[in-house]
Structure 1
Amino acid sequence: MIISRTTSSLAALSASRPEHPVAVCALAVSAGDDKTRLIPAGQFDAPRGSMRGGGPWRLDEAQARQIIQQAANRNTDLVVDYEHQTLLSETNGQPAPAAGWVAPQSLEWRTDGLYGRIQWTAAAKASITPGPEGEPPEYRYLSPVFPYDAETGAVQDLLHLSLTNNPAISDGDAVLAAARRASATSEQEESTVKREELIKALGLKADATDEQIDGAIAALKAKAADADSVRQTLSLKDDDKPSEAVAALKSKAEAQPAVAEPDPAKYVPKAVYDEAVAALSAAQVGENQEMDRLIDEGLKDGRIAGKATADWLKKQGLAALKAHLEDAPSLAALKGGTQTAGKAPQDNGDEQAGELSEQELAVCKSMGISPEDYRKANPADGQ
């Protein structure tokens, strides 16, 4: 066995060891490109003096097939380190550089044991290769670390391997490897349980994907944010119950002043307003047309002296235009003839050059303007 009871610290570790203790053994190592035997077949033991307790261990084809199947489910390669530093790094604080890697897919059962292809680093390959003149290599042994059944010695798995010249490791290191494996298994089981509980709490199907779980969590966060916003709006406390929140909302709504019905004396329906606007627009068009007709008649019969007078009258509106046409005399001279019917005007001595005629004065009177303003508006008429 690899479990020691010599110190209290190791006893604490052994108390948490998994069902299958962990062992190491020594195998010859080479730098060849072919596969290397990682665990021997049949019953085997550590060389005398190479480790304390433990064996014998056993590996048959069925057990090897199980190890190969377990390795196929892994996403990472098996590490080969130096002097089991992977186990020791947590206690001595030293790094654990890799000497090589074993791809899980390369594991293979042969009649004499479990084999795998090791991809060595350049430094490790140099350390296991003999020198050019027969100098011995720096490392001679490959030491696998594996859990096994305490009663039968059956090998259960392959954890990692190490280059070493002293394949026996301390009991505490073996227990540490076992504790690490037990912890990883426990964490994986706990993670699985937590995932199942999370899926159930979210109301998802048992086979929900990570994307579906993330989406459900995001939806819950959004609802929580909305709830917080409502609480802040209603000035609620975090421990207020939903029923209290509803009551507060109703109370706030009842406190708001009721919207008064519009006063019919001040407001009319939009349809009525639109209809009135349309009628006014039509009336305006009709008024403009009527003014154009009256101005045209006034220009023809001489009641409107000229364009300037017509434009001015149009600005005064329809009522002013009609009043002017009613009072203004028809000026024959503006119909195409002359006031003297082609005769030379008689000089009666009363009118002076530039003074308005009686008809023009009549226009001024009807329009309510002075003769001077009329002459300014109609310079040609006053000459």
Structure 2
Amino acid sequence: MDTKHTTSPLLQARHAVELTDPMDVTATPPEWIQLLPSGEFRGRDGRGPYRNADPAGIIATTIAYQAGAELPMDYDHQLEYAAINGQPAPASGWIVELAVKFGGEVWGRVRWTEKAAAHIRAREYRYLSPVFRHTADGRIIRIESAALTNVPNLELVAIASRRAGGEAQPHTREEDMDLKKMLTGILGLPADSAEDVVTAKVQGLVTAAHSAGAGLASIAKAIGAPDGATADAIATEARALASRVGAPDPAKFVPIEMYQETSSALAALRKDVSASTAKSLVEEAKTAHKVSPAMEPWAQSYAEKDPDGFKAWMSASAPVVPTGPKGPDGKPPAGTGKLSDEERAVCSQLGLDEAEYLKSVQSAAPGGKEA
């Protein structure tokens, strides 16, 4: 791992970000600003090339280094000069989010101060100048800050590393080792971990954070939490929803035991009604001499299962019990010991055994004895 870093000059003029349109008298500060172009580029003074080879990795390393702190923006890089001139370095804004846009460019979302926004609207400041770290071969590692300036493409190497009374100096190995020690400590990695291992670990944490954020957003939408709700707010809403589910509205829900009891009672009632209706139909068929005593079990079962079908059968069937003169007790007279042609036809139609049917007819004769 090459731990010797140098700081870099600003981008070429063509890479400088012009914050406002000089023809727009109503210009307002942009929310998103370009911090790094994609690919390889040089500074206006010819230094470089510098390589934005892994924009996502640059963002991940920057976020890990900041450890939750927002990236500062100042005026004319006073943050770098403060140790030399002793002057204050007020912020012009704070970079609160980083993103890869337009095929590999690194952009930042800025929360401007009111004073800086007024400067930009008045076009007193019109350019943006980023500060970044890179390796000896020009590969960009992370972004340190950005500044409002009217002289784009400043010598950021000299600004970032100049010592009081001296010329620009490269960052020392000790400074780089301190950075590595801090990152490996935060990430729980061995102090001698290779740079690509540290970068991969940071990228994994950033990816996991993005996934967790997307998951929380999905949960918030599903439970009706407001957009932008914090994790605590989403958890509170989820607990409230669980409480509502655990105590259902008694006007809309009944206990399962009560439902099962009611269902069983209703089924029994339906069965009783069905049996009663079937019995009435069978009695009607008996009165019409369409059902003999031997046929009653079959007729009862048929009428219970299909009342309409039984009615249709009863309408189409011929009497099976003689309709001639009745005996003194109102019952049919004794049989002749033989089935009539009509009775044999009924037996054939219903699949009844003629001998058994004859016995049932004889048993229905006065005295219940065979004729």
TM-score (norm. length: structure 1): 0.38
Higher Cα radius of gyration: 1
TM-score (norm. length: structure 2): 0.39
